[in-house]
Structure 1
Amino acid sequence: MSLAHETSLLPMPEMQRITALFGGARVLKHRVTDRLEAHEMLQQGMPSQALLHLIEGLSILRDPISLEKAVGISLRTIQRRKETPGKALSAEQGGRAWKFAEVLAQATDVMGNQDNAERWLERPALALNGRRPIDLLTTPAGIELVQQLLGRLKYGVYT
């Protein structure tokens, strides 16, 4: 069982769940307790090690296609990051990874645990016209659709 999975079993606030996916303040090299602190950290450049921690902790990101859809970074780029772990991500790269972590945290809340959330992201959803939620994470509009669906599921509104 991965550390990310173990932490998802504990009830925790959304920001704490998101930062735990990246290895927490130790790996992020910042204490992130709100969205403004997250913005500032992403602007300064999220450490590559945080992205690597996220990928290693999630089975869904072991598939290169899902990885690229979820965080917008190719497998080859990830391999280069492993060779230079001290190099920071660009604001855009860090932002995509952060947004994916937000969606995963929301899905974990709705689905009860991280394993269920990861499986849900990979399964076609009727409310998304049979598309897999992870396939929609490539655009802001798609991310919004997935988050809206999660909100509806949380409150029992399935239409």
Structure 2
Amino acid sequence: MAEQAKRRRRRRSRSTVNGILGHAAPLNVFAVREGLPVHTVESLAGCLHVTSATMQRWLSLSKQTYARRRKQGRLSALESDRVVRYAELLHRAVELLGDIDAAAHWLNTPAVALDGEAPLDHATTEIGARDVLRLIGRLEHGIPT
């Protein structure tokens, strides 16, 4: 029973991440390896209420590299993986707070539990993203942070 609920939640999570990224096809490892369309950066920036330049900084994309990716139309696999990381954080925050605007605000607000860093700034590395996910999990379960 609990396993079925987990599977349903994972399926819902993937479809929500697809929606956030504006990605019509099911998001899977092959889509990420192939490289997501560049427009996913702007889509995600809009959802997070940040500029494209801020997203580029979080994704470790220089202006020159981003311009090159725009011409090519696709991000690299590593860049795509980072985009998915941020989309998943947004999705989890929306699940927690119930609203995309509230989630974006929370993700952009410094958190004491993250040493005063905003969750999105803290998530520039995989380990930082895991810290943010742990924080969301603690909040979901009412554990003081």
TM-score by length of 2: 0.80
Q: Is the 8 A contact 2:114 2:122 kept in 1?
A: no
CA 58–42 in structure 1, closer or farther in 2 if over 3 Å, else same = same
Q: Which residue of 2 aligns with 1:68?
A: 57
Answer yes or no: is 1:43 the counterpart of 2:33: yes
Cα offset, 1:41, TM superposition = 0.8
Q: Which residue of 1 aligns with 2:8?
A: none
Q: Is the 8 A contact 2:42 2:52 kept in 1?
A: no
C-alpha contact (below 8 Å) 1:46/1:94 kept by paired residues? yes
**Alignment CA distance shift 1:133-1:101 (3 Å):** same
For 1:109 and 1:94, how far apart are their aligned partners in 2?
22
TM-score by length of 1: 0.74
- For residues 64-114 of structure 1, give each alpha carbon's deviation from its aligned partner in whole angstroms, at most 9, with x where no partner exists: 345412x332455444444x2x53211100000011100111011112111
The alignment status of 1:124 with 2:110, answered yes or no, reads yes
* Percent pairwise identity: 30
Counterpart-to-counterpart distance in 2, 1:48 and 1:63: 11
- What value does the CA root-mean-square deviation take over the aligned residues? 2.2
Q: Which segments of 5 or more consecutive residues in structure 2 lack a partner in the other structure?
A: 1-10
Q: How many residues align?
A: 135
User: Partners of 1:46 and 1:101 in 2: how far apart?
Assistant: 13
- Cα gap change, 1:145/1:156 in structure 2, threshold over 3 Å: closer, same or farther? same
